[in-house]
Amino acid sequence: MRADPSVCVADNYILDDAEGLALQTLPGGTYAAYHTTVADGNFAKAWTEFYSQYIAESGYRPDGKACYERYLNDGSENGVWDVIFYQHVEKISAHGDPLSSAR
């Protein structure tokens, strides 16, 4: 899994010439959101639960677009993070195929 550390900025923000930084916009659309607590840095376990339990049972599937984490606290002090995971998803039809707005 690839991770891009990010910060939110205003729409009119101008990025100075900073090596290794890029201004990106998250794609619009449907996201699955999973609010959880992560202890002792075990983010892999939490992401696995998100995909194998929550998304797998939702009628949606990841579509290969953006996924990201939103931290609601600084867990570096006590080893416990309050976090929301987001994954861009698409609806699955009864036959397991993605539904398209063109259908």
The pLDDT tens digits of the residues spanning 86-96 come to 999 999 977 66
Domain assignment present for 69:
yes
Which residue stretches of the chain have pLDDT < 70?
1-4, 95-103
Interval 50-67: pLDDT, tens: 999 999 999 999 998 889
Residue 23's pLDDT is 84
Domain assignment present for 9:
no
Q: Encoding tokens for residue 20?
A: 């290794």
> Which domain, by its residues, includes 52?
31-91
DSSP character string of 60-92: EEEEEEEEEEEESS-TTTTSEEEEEEEEEEEEB
> Phi then psi for 66, rounded to 5 degrees?
-65, 145
Domain assignment present for 16:
no
Q: Encoding tokens for residue 69?
A: 């984490």
Domain assignment present for 20:
no
Can you name the residues that pair with 32 across neighbouring β-strands? 87
Amino acid at 99: L
The number of folded domains in the chain is 1
Residue 20's pLDDT is 80
Residue 13's pLDDT is 87
C-beta neighbour count of 76 within 10 angstroms? 9
Domain assignment present for 46:
yes
Residue 102's pLDDT is 45
Domain assignment present for 52:
yes
Between CA 52 and CA 48 the distance in angstroms is: 6
Q: What percent of the chain has pLDDT over 90?
A: 56
Between CA 83 and CA 75 the distance in angstroms is: 10
Question: Residue 39 belongs to a domain with what CATH number?
Answer: 3.20.80.10
Domain assignment present for 6:
no
